[in-house]
Amino acid sequence: MTDELRWYLIAKKRTEGLIASAFRKLRDEGIEPILIKGWAAARNYPDVKPRFLGDIDLAVAADDFERATRLVEDPDSGIIGVDLHRELRRLDTVDWATLFANAELVTIDGEDVRVLAPEDHLRVMCVHWLTDGGESKERLWDIYYAVQNRPASFDWAKCLEVVEPNRRGWIKATIGLANRYLGLGIDDLPFAEEARCLPAWLTRCVEREWKSELPMRPMETVIDDAGSLMTEVRRRIPPNPIQATVNCEGIFDDRSRIPYQIRDLFMRARPSIKRVFQGMLIRMRR
């Protein structure tokens, strides 16, 4: 066993303790979360392949979000490392009640933890990976293992037919990328040929992203450093074509991405500028 694997097993155990604790504390307040990404994605990995875990992504019903936020932000609550989501918002168009009804319970550290059904989670992970502009080749392994180690009962109709055709295309394309770049076997998938037909702009985009040494950082975290701020601005213009298409609910076809990129630029400019100014205000007050 390598030290890397040992570290991973420790981090996983630590995360499991935090997940169980967060679920217990939220349940005490009558809030039922669903665990997404992170540990839920790592479940599909083989034991010998470390999948370093970041924050604990918990989605809660919109009605519970404010109460859950207060609890998560309370330093005395004992809830650590949780990134709270108001349902799944942009990550999925299936309604919360359906996702919740489909969800499964798994036991972690003696606590029953709710995770999305494999069909729903694969869809959500694909969209999440795309909303990050496909910048992480490492995270594409989440898709690889979710497909490769899907349960025998996995129903592609439950994964794909429940969303609009454009989104269906995104999922198939992400699986196609896992096939092309990670060697995921897709011959047995009902849409194998479609998944193999990837638009040129998509492959160009991911290859360019993967060459970049540093991941994109939130603008508000670099406002103290003019050089880094300019680097981050330059990285956003022109907008990443994957992000632009997904943000505009566009279709993954062979056509130019420019219309999506222009629209996306305008859509994102205002909130980005707002976040930067808010960050500057916080620093000025300190």
Partner 1 sequence: MNTSQRPIARKAGLVIQEVPDEVLVYDLETNKAHCLNQSAAIIWRSCDGNNTVSDIAKLVGAQAGGKVTEDFVWLAIDQLSENRLLEKEITVNFEGRSRREALKKIGLATMVAVPVIASLVAPQSALAASSCACVSPGDCLAQTTCPSTTNCNGAGVCAP
Applying CB under 8 A, the residues found at the interface with partner 1 are 1-4, 6-7, 9-15, 17-18, 50, 52-56, 80-83, 217-218, 220-222, 224, 282-283, 286
Residue 104 forms beta bridges with which residues? 115
In angstroms, what is the minimal distance from the CB of 135 to partner 1?
15
Give 13 or 70: the residue with its C-beta nearer to partner 1. Answer: 13
Three-class SS string for 215-280? CCCCHHHCCCCHHHHHHHHHHHCCCCHHHHHHHCCCCCCCCCCHHHHHHHHHHHHHHHHHHHHHHH
Give 39 or 260: the residue with its C-beta nearer to partner 1. Answer: 39
In angstroms, what is the minimal distance from the CB of 38 to partner 1?
8
User: Edge-to-edge, what's the strand order for the sheet holding 82-86?
Assistant: 82-86, 56-60, 34-36, 111-115, 104-108
With contact defined as beta carbons under 8 Å apart, do 248 and 263 qualify? yes
Residue 238 preceded by cis peptide, ω within 30 = yes
In angstroms, what is the minimal distance from the CB of 139 to partner 1?
13
255's tokens: 């056509």
How does DSSP assign 169-219, residue by residue? Answer: HHHHHHHHHHHHHH----TTSTTHHHHH---HHHHHHHHHHHH-SS----G
In angstroms, what is the minimal distance from the CB of 53 to partner 1?
7
In angstroms, what is the minimal distance from the CB of 5 to partner 1?
9
Q: Which residue has the tokens 């490392």?
A: 81
Give 150 or 268: the residue with its C-beta nearer to partner 1. Answer: 268
In angstroms, what is the minimal distance from the CB of 11 to partner 1?
6
In angstroms, what is the minimal distance from the CB of 106 to partner 1?
18
Give 211 or 286: the residue with its C-beta nearer to partner 1. Answer: 286
Give 82 or 162: the residue with its C-beta nearer to partner 1. Answer: 82
Give 3 or 188: the residue with its C-beta nearer to partner 1. Answer: 3
Give 2 or 107: the residue with its C-beta nearer to partner 1. Answer: 2
In angstroms, what is the minimal distance from the CB of 84 to partner 1?
9
Q: How far is CA 89 from CA 93, 95, 167, in A?
A: 7, 9, 14
Long-range contacts, 186-195 (Cβ 8 Å, 24+)? 186/147, 189/147, 189/156, 190/156, 191/156, 191/160
Q: Exposed (0-12), middle (13-18) or buried (19+): which is 130, by Cβ within 10 Å?
A: buried
Give 102 or 228: the residue with its C-beta nearer to partner 1. Answer: 228
Half-sphere exposure (CA, 13 Å, Cβ side) for 280?
11
